[in-house]
Amino acid sequence: MDKIPSREKLILDLFSVNGVKFGEYKLKSGIISPYYIDLRVLVSYPYLLKLTAEVFWETMRTLYFDVIVGVPYTAIPIATAISLSENQHMIFIRKEKKAYGTGKLIEGIYHRGQKVIIVDDVITNGTSKFETIQPVLDEGLVVKDIVVLLDRLQGGLEILKKNEYKCHVIYNVKEVFNILLKYKKINKKIASNCLTFTEKSRKQILKSTS
């Protein structure tokens, strides 16, 4: 059997550890989705976290940045793995300021004017990206590039682009479904239902932000 390409292997491995799942899942936006990408499982599979970091770096290595920021909480282990393997400077953002100690919202060493690259698992409507971007801007850092593993094709890229941020996508959901179909992990009916949902919700999200 021919060796499976690393891009396909990552998706198949994520599926095998329930990182890609199908059913009914409530998203942050409140929408019920027929599929869910759960990269929180990566912390339990070091080899898979390493592979994910390698796939991210293939996209990131051509971009200019001073500091990596992982969107809390799922992307922090991914950003850490990239930082360790590629010897890159990293900071991270808390979801809330501490009420004790230093009271910082951003942890790590950074300087005003440095260019930040934001790393995240998934983009849907872009909400979590803006929640991360704003405190970074408030500290005088510069944000232009965002790298995500998966675009759910629900309008997030267009919304970020309107705000002059460039989002670099490693996979989109159509590619993921095609890989899973190719290796008979899902059937055509599941893929079709997911894509129908994607297109419908995409129209709703873009309409609500127009």
Q: pLDDT by residue for the chain (210 residues), tens digit each?
A: 468 888 899 999 999 999 999 999 998 778 899 999 999 999 999 999 999 999 999 999 999 999 999 988 899 999 999 999 999 999 998 877 665 656 678 999 999 999 999 999 999 888 888 989 999 999 999 999 999 999 999 989 999 999 999 999 999 999 999 999 999 999 999 999 999 999 998 888 887 776
Whether 22 maps to a domain, the answer reads yes
Residues 195 and 153: their CA atoms lie apart, in Å, by 9
Identify the bridge partners of residue 147 per DSSP, sorted by sequence position.
119, 168
| pLDDT, position 64 | 96
Domain of 41? Answer: 6-209
Task: Name the burial class of residue 133, with classes exposed (0-12), middle (13-18) and buried (19+) by CB atoms within 10 angstroms of its CB.
Answer: buried
Whether 194 maps to a domain, the answer reads yes
Identify the bridge partners of residue 171 per DSSP, sorted by sequence position.
150
Q: How far is CA 128 from CA 89, 108, 133, 189, in A?
A: 22, 21, 9, 31
Question: Residue 63's Cα: distance from chain center in Å?
Answer: 17
Q: Into how many domains does the chain fold?
A: 1
Whether 1 maps to a domain, the answer reads no
Whether 156 maps to a domain, the answer reads yes
Whole-model pTM: value is 0.91
92: CATH: 3.40.50.2020
| pLDDT, position 94 | 84
pLDDT tens, 105-126? 899 999 999 999 999 999 988 8
Three-state secondary structure of the chain: CCCCCHHHHHHHHHHHCCCEEEEEEECCCCCEEEEEECHHHHHHCHHHHHHHHHHHHHHHCCCCCCEEEECCCCHHHHHHHHHHHHCCCEEEECCCCCCCCCCCCEECCCCCCCEEEEEEEEECCCHHHHHHHHHHHHCCCEEEEEEEEEECCCCHHHHHHHCCCEEEEEEEHHHHHHHHHHCCCCCHHHHHHHHHHHHHHHHHHHHHHC
| pLDDT, position 100 | 60
b/e per residue 154-166 (b: at least 16 CB within 10 A): bbbbbbbeeeebe
164, 161, 165: which is closest to 146 by C-alpha?
Answer: 165
Q: Supply φ then ψ for residue 198, to 5 degrees.
A: -60, -50
